[in-house]
Amino acid sequence: MTPDRAAEIYRQEFADTRRERLFLSSVSFFMTFAATRAITHAIRAGVGPFHNLTVGGRHFHHLVLGIAGLLGTGYLWLIEVDTGAATGTDDALAKFTSILYGGASALTLDEFALWLDLEDVYWTRQGRASVDAVVLFGGVLSIGLWGGPFFRRLFRELSHI
């Protein structure tokens, strides 16, 4: 299968822009969550170029970036209401905000325990166990739900090769 054929299947399976935005958001959520967990583990292990960020002597939690992303997404959604759909154009802003929303949600939910305990329990048992399982499962489930027809069609095409 060529990349052009995969792109053609993608366009056909995601003709419904609402379903495409949900899929893009789910993929972004899962990828951001996985990358965030990998980076935080690398920081803790002292591996690679990563390190904790501090601002004014305070630890800068990635939750802050997630909240800023969610606020930014909300504002962009206010700007784009009733645009794109009426003209029938490929709305790049809608796709971008869907991806931004998924990533910002992952950054925010990755530190959900901080919301509950109002202290940094990220590396404790209560800060990790349930959040890891629920978020990873939810990310994979939603990618499969919104992207199921697309993936089934891709696999059918690959099986004929």
* Residue extents of the structural domains in the chain: 22-159
How confident is the model over 85-91, as a mean pLDDT? 58
Residue whose structure tokens are 């959040």: 131
The fraction of the chain above a pLDDT of 70, given in percent, is 86
pLDDT of 86 reads 53
Between CA 152 and CA 26 the distance in angstroms is: 17
pLDDT of 24 reads 93
Return phi, psi of residue 66, to 5°. Answer: -65, -45
The fraction of the chain above a pLDDT of 90, given in percent, is 34
Query: Which amino acid is it at 35?
Result: A
Reported as a single tens digit per residue, the pLDDT across 40-70 is 889 989 999 999 888 898 888 888 999 999 9
| DSSP for 112-154, written as a single string | HHHHHHSS--TTSHHHHHHHHHHHHHHHHHHHHHHHHHHHHHH
pLDDT of 74 reads 92
Q: Crossing angle, helix 92-110 and helix 125-159, to 10 degrees?
A: 140
- Does residue 83 register a pLDDT over 70? no
Confidence of residue 126 (pLDDT cuts 50, 70, 90): low
pLDDT of 67 reads 94
